[in-house]
């Protein structure tokens, strides 16, 4: 009994932490209709700053923590002002979600630069000696955390339901345009909610810090747990955040105690997927029906810069020549990075089809890479199976998983779709770590043979490079061909309006499923190739961090272009290799680039390049306007 | 001196120009009505006056002073309130909360004023009085329209802009709403009424403006306009039932057909 109670207390503690992060999600969601995934990043930023102020600079603890929380809140205010608020006007909800992934990456990158990659541990506020209460041992920090959580909940409840500002915040969440008519400054309220959420995250961060080890990327874990909690509970109600947090905390804690710590995450995630199927609005649905304003609509797209057919053929030829020549002239050491870039590009093509063409968000694409990589690796190591069959087996398994996952995802859009795919990726992550006998667990799978086809061995970086490039080119040509048919047009119409598309008789489900399958297969092949090329596979190579990186690469390269992502992939893979000393700044820059692209270059690097090229090739715009006129006449 | 004047105002939304050099003026204590078919630009004029849209050209003058650069909340404090098309009440909040949000722009130190205005509004709308604690989203369309008007009154406006208060309301209630508008004028509130229901609007208004495709095509005393054969033919017989949304959907469908075909 005492044991159960002990676990219960642990669960409540964990739940209080999750609930605090969840509260921030809920606050921003209610006012703006989007989810801010950078939440956990701010928590860790504050915690690390608190560490520096108190341990390094020797400030008294209360002052140090106050400075840390204050500083983080100011940073949050600035980031909200320059990125989040302007983005709300320009971007669709799904893209704002991605933008907040960029903010999270930016914060992690900043922490990496300042604090390095080593773990930190922070002393408890009131000593490490636990209290004994009726046979239970409870650390003093537990009281601090639960106390803080209660105070913050009461404060938020008071502000929201009892003050004029709170009413204004709620009005914005229900109907921003009517709120503006009441004289409420909607932009300011948005910024306020963002800053308040940052403040809550920062307070949570410094209080929770002593119970965990901190690393520059711990924020992801906070974000993810908070996000799961808030969806379980119901994202648009504050009690939901609390219930969801506690529920998740207890489940995780009991699962750890009675099943296995390696699978406690998996259990929570499976639970989440079930909730998404049966009660997508969470355990405590809000009374408020979501408003139907413009922000739910997809981003308004200008026409994509398409090259004239002739220019396109020339560009393709030039691209292939560059791809062939570059490895011959660059230092040999870079070739393996280039190979990785080419392998990742394969997954990106699939992701672009899914996100860029069809508008379906996926934050779990690396999950399929993991399935492909581990399946191929396992079969090749243990059964000496030909790599080609290993890849095929991986694809089969990925397709099967995609089919099962699509039971959940086909019904969802936007935010919930992002969440479901994220949950899938995390589930695969925890399987990769948990099934030690198969995957080698956290230390990875070693001894994977090189790729070979019969007697042909691709065991040098150069040979592997050419193999992968050939695969990329073939896949690209096939897809470009397919997209010229009615298939491509159907995808576009799904992207612009699902309801209208189905009203026109387009079988949305079939097309969405097809695209999802194609993208899963490509990711799977990419993962297998990665395994064969490294002769090694570790969970973080194909984990959620990779999924998020894929999204960054896609946006930086240019969505909806198929070839554009190659720029993102090469840039983010090669830069750290070429500028070794700068490797540390990679995370920071990829975050910053992602944000900048979202705000200022919606068509990514491809857009810039294609625009420049079409200018050079058609000096006058006459050709273009003629094309338009013809298009209009049809 | 007129209470509200628009001088050569042009406006539009990103890219598209909607209004072309509109000039109109409205005396204190009057009811003026803007009539015109779907997409004529009536709501756009309403938005320009309340300040949620800025003109590309021309000036909006309220009480003798240009309101250029003033935000919606500044204008509310000057006495301009806007009851938007389609009611736009806060459905998840109670009636009382909705009303209090209507007085959001009134500084808290004037809480006495807010309370007395609340009492005034309750007297005007007995329907709401009994249901102050109810969630507004559960109200019928007509009740929601009453609430929207009541909410607009909470800031003690001198000029009340009503955008299609008869939209989606049963004929009997429409009459009630129009009578109410007349009573509001009796309280000294100037009213700018945008309506597709031209016949009824002109019957209670002092002055009328006919907008077509963003142009002012006719103006004059309401009674004279109502009598004019041209108006009768063009606006009084037609165009009262087609909602703006259907129009949008049709366009979207056409757009999609173009992509798919
Ligand atoms: N937010 C907007 N963005 C772009 N165009 C808009 C927007 N709102 C209105 N328009 C366009 O401006 C034109 C005038 O619209 P407005 O709403 O002023 O018409 P209206 O006279 O109020 O019509 P209705 O009687 O249907 O309400 C229409 O062509 C409409 O499509
Ligand atoms: Mg209108």
ipTM value: 0.83
pLDDT band at A569 (very low <50, low <70, confident <90, very high): very high
If interface means Cβ-Cβ distance under 8 Å, which residues of chain A face chain B? Answer: 164, 167-168, 170-171, 174-175, 177-185, 286-289, 486, 489-490, 492-493, 496-497, 500-501, 503-504, 506, 634
Tell me the average pLDDT across B104-118: 88
The span from the CA of A443 to the CA of A529, in Å, is 19
Question: Which of B49, B76, B81, B101 is the best mutation test for A, with the most CBs of A within 10 A?
Answer: B101
Strands B31-35 and B207-212: parallel
Percent of chain B scored above 70 by pLDDT?
Answer: 87
What's the domain range around B62?
4-227
More confident residue, A128 or A541: A541
Task: Kindly indicate the confidence band of residue B189, based on its pLDDT and cuts at 50, 70 and 90.
Answer: very high
Which residues have any ligand 1 atom within 6 Å of their CB? B 13, 16, 18, 36, 38-44, 85, 196, 244
Q: How far is the CA of B44 from the centre of ligand 1 (A)?
A: 6
Dihedral over Cα of A25, A26, A32, A35: its sign: positive
Domains of chain A: 11-128+139-278 (1.10.3470), 309-631 (1.10.3470)
Q: Using an 8 Å Cβ cutoff, are A75 and A45 in contact?
A: yes
Confidence (pLDDT) at A634? 30
Point out the residue among B50, B71, B260 whose CB comes nearest to the CB of A504. Answer: B260
State residue A442's pLDDT score: 86
pLDDT at residue B13 in the model: 83
Residue B150 CA to ligand 2 center (angstroms) comes to 20
Helix axes A332-351, A461-483, angle to 10 degrees: 20
Instruction: For residue B101, tell me if it sits in a domain.
Output: yes
Q: Which residue of B has its CA nearest to A300?
A: B14
**Domain assignment present for B241:** no
pLDDT band at A297 (very low <50, low <70, confident <90, very high): very low
The distance of B107 to chain A (nearest Cα, Å) reads: 11
What distance in Å separates residue A387's CA from the closest CA in chain B? 41
| pLDDT over 70 at A468, yes or no | yes
Compute the distance from residue B229 Cα to the ligand 2 centre, in Å: 24
CA atoms of A169 and A451, how far apart (whole Å): 58
Percent pLDDT > 70 in chain A is 91
User: With contacts defined as CB-CB under 8 Å, which chain A residues touch B73?
Assistant: 183-185
Average per-residue pLDDT for chain A = 84
pTM assigned to the model: 0.82
pLDDT value at residue A511: 84
Instruction: Over range B10-17, report the average pLDDT.
Output: 81
Which residues of A fall within a CB distance of 8 Å from B72?
Answer: 180-181, 183
Rounded to an integer, the average pLDDT of A57-77 is: 94
Kindly report the CATH number assigned to the domain that includes residue B25.
3.40.50.300
Q: Return the pLDDT at B240.
A: 37
Q: How many domains does chain B have?
A: 1
Q: How far apart are CA A130 and CA A126, in angstroms?
A: 10
What contacts A462, CB < 8 A, 6 or more positions away? A327, A335
pLDDT for residue A524: 97
Nearest ligand to residue B42 Cα:
1
pLDDT at A595 over 50: yes
Q: Is the pLDDT of residue B239 over 50?
A: no
Q: Which positions in chain A touch B76 (Cβ < 8 Å)?
A: 182-183
Whole-number pLDDT of residue A473: 93
In a domain, B76, yes or no: yes
* A540 against A503, higher pLDDT: A540
User: Which tens digit of pLDDT belongs to each residue from A236-285?
Assistant: 778 888 899 999 999 988 888 888 777 777 888 888 888 877 776 777 76
Contact (Cβ atoms closer than 8 angstroms) between residue B34 and residue B211: yes
Ligand 1 nearest-atom number relative to CA B196: 25
| pLDDT for position B251 | 59
Which has more confidence, A305 or B146?
B146
- Let me know if residue B251 belongs to a domain: no
Listed range (A148-152, A373-377, A626-630) with the worst mean pLDDT: A626-630
Contact across the interface for A174 and B135, Cβ inside 8 Å: no
In-domain check, residue B236: no
pLDDT for the residue numbered A290: 43
In this prediction, residue A377 has a pLDDT band, given cuts at 50, 70 and 90, of: very high
pLDDT, one tens digit per residue, over A114-159 is 999 899 988 888 888 888 887 788 888 889 999 999 999 999 889 9
C-alpha B86 to ligand 1 mean position (Å): 13
Pick from A170, A174, A496: CB nearest B256: A496
pLDDT band at B258 (very low <50, low <70, confident <90, very high): low
DSSP code per residue over A484-522: TSHHHHHHHHHHH-HHHHHHTT--HHHHHHHHHHHHHHH
- Beta-carbon separation of A182 and B101 below 8 A: yes
From the CA of B85, give the closest atom in ligand 1.
Answer: 27
CB contact under 8 A, B105 and A183: yes
Q: Which H/E stretch holds residue A451?
A: strand A451-453
Q: How far apart are CA A589 and CA A278, in angstroms?
A: 40
All residues of chain B having their beta carbon less than 8 Å from the beta carbon of residue A168 are 101, 104
Q: CA-to-CA distance for A403 and A398, rounded, in angstroms?
A: 8
Q: How many angstroms separate the alpha carbon of residue B158 from the centre of ligand 1?
A: 26
Q: What is the pLDDT of residue A467?
A: 93
| Domain-embedded: residue B81 | yes
Ranking A85-94, A208-217, A556-565, B26-35 by mean pLDDT, the lowest is A85-94
**Residue B212 CA to ligand 2 centre (angstroms):** 12
Nearest Cα to B23, choosing from B256, B174, B216? B216
Query: Which ligand 1 atom is nearest residue B47's CA?
Result: 18
Using CA atoms, how far apart are residues A606 and A565, in angstroms rounded to an integer?
A: 8
Asked if residue A298 has pLDDT above 80, the reply is no
Residue B114 domain-assigned (yes or no)? yes
Residue B143 lies in a domain: yes
Residues 6+ positions from A154 with CB-CB distance below 8 Å: none
């Amino acid at each position: 009994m005492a044991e159960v109670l002990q676990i219960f207390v642990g669960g409540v503690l964990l739940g209080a932490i999750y609930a605090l992060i969840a509260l921030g999600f809920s606050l921003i969601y209610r006012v703006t209709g989007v989810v801010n995934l950078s939440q956990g990043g701010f928590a860790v930023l504050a915690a690390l700053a608190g560490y520096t102020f108190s341990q390094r600079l020797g400030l008294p603890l209360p002052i140090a923590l106050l400075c840390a929380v204050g500083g983080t809140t100011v940073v949050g205010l600035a980031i909200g002002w320059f990125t989040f608020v302007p983005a709300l006007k320009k971007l669709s909800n799904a893209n704002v979600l991605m933008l907040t992934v960029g903010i999270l990456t930016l914060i992690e990158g900043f922490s990496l630069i300042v604090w390095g990659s080593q773990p930190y541990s922070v002393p408890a506020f009131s000593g490490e000696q636990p209290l004994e209460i009726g046979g239970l041992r409870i650390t003093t920090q537990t009281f601090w955390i639960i106390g803080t959580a209660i105070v913050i909940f009461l404060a938020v409840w008071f502000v929201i339901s009892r003050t004029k500002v709170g009413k204004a915040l709620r009005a914005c969440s229900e109907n921003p345009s009517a709120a503006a008519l009441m004289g409420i400054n909607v932009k300011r309220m948005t910024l306020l909610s963002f800053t308040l959420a940052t403040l809550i995250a920062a307070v949570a961060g410094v209080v929770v810090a002593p119970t965990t080890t901190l690393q520059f990327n711990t924020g992801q874990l906070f974000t993810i747990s908070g996000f799961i909690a808030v969806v379980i509970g119901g994202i648009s109600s504050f009690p939901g955040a609390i219930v969801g947090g506690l529920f998740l905390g207890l489940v995780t804690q009991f699962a750890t105690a009675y099943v296995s710590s390696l699978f406690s995450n998996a259990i929570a995630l499976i639970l989440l997927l079930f909730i998404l199927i049966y009660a997508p609005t969470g355990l405590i649905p809000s009374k408020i029906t979501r408003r139907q304003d413009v922000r739910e609509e997809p981003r308004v797209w200008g026409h994509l810069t398409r090259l004239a057919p002739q220019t396109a053929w020339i560009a393709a030829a030039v691209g292939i020549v560059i791809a062939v020549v570059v490895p011959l002239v660059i230092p040999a050491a870079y070739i393996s990075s280039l190979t990785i870039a080419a392998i990742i590009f394969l997954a990106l093509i699939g992701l672009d089809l899914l996100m860029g063409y069809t508008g379906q968000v996926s934050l779990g694409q690396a999950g399929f890479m993991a399935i492909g990589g581990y399946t191929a690796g396992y079969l090749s190591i243990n059964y000496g199976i030909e790599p080609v069959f290993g890849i095929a087996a991986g694809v089969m398994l990925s397709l099967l998983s995609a089919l099962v996952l699509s039971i959940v995802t086909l019904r969802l859009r936007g935010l919930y779709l992002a969440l479901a795919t994220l949950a899938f990726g995390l589930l695969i992550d925890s399987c990769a770590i948990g099934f030690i006998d198969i995957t080698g667990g956290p230390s990875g799978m070693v001894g994977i043979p090189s790729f070979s086809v019969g007697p042909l061995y691709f065991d040098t970086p150069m040979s592997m490079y050419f193999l992968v490039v050939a695969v990329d080119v073939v896949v690209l040509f096939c897809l470009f061909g397919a997209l010229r048919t009615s298939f491509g047009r159907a995808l576009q119409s799904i992207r612009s309006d699902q309801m209208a598309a189905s009203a026109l008789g387009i079988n949305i489900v079939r097309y969405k499923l097809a695209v999802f399958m194609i993208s899963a297969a490509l990711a799977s092949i990419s993962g297998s190739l990665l395994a064969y090329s490294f002769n090694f596979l570790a969970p973080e190579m194909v984990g959620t961090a990779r999924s998020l990186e894929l999204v960054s690469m896609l946006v930086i390269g240019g969505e909806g272009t198929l070839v554009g992502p190659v720029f993102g992939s090469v840039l983010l893979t090669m830069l750290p290799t070429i500028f070794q000393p700068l490797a540390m700044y990679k995370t920071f820059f990829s975050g910053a680039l992602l944000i900048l692209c979202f705000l200022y270059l919606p068509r990514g690097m491809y857009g810039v390049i294609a625009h420049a090229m079409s200018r050079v090739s058609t000096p006058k715009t006459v050709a273009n306007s003629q094309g338009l006129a013809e298009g209009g006449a049809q | 001196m007129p209470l509200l004047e628009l001088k050569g105002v042009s406006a539009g939304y990103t890219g598209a120009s909607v209004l072309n050099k509109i000039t109109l003026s409205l005396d204190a204590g009057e009811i003026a009505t803007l009539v015109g078919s779907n997409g004529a630009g009536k709501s756009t004029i309403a938005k320009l006056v309340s300040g949620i849209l800025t003109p590309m050209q021309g000036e909006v003058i309220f009480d003798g002073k240009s309101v250029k650069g003033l935000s919606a909340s500044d204008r509310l404090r000057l006495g301009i309130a806007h009851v938007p098309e389609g009611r736009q009440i806060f459905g998840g909040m109670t009636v009382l909360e909705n009303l209090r949000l209507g007085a959001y722009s009134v500084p808290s130190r004037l809480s006495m004023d807010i309370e007395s205005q609340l009492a005034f509004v309750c007297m005007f709308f007995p329907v709401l009085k009994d249901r102050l604690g109810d969630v507004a989203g559960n109200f019928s369309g007509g009740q929601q329209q009453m609430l929207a008007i009541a909410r607009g009154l909470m800031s003690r406006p001198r000029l009340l802009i009503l955008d299609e208060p008869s939209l989606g309301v049963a004929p009997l209630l429409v009459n009630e709403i129009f009578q109410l508008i007349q009573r509001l004028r009796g309280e000294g509130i100037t009213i700018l009424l945008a309506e597709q229901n031209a016949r009824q609007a002109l019957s209670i208004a002092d002055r009328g403006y006919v907008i077509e495709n963003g142009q002012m095509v006719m103006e004059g005393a309401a009674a004279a306009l109502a009598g004019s054969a041209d108006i009768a033919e063009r606006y009084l017989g037609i165009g009262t039932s087609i909602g703006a949304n259907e129009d949008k959907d049709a366009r979207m469908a056409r757009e999609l057909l173009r992509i798919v075909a």
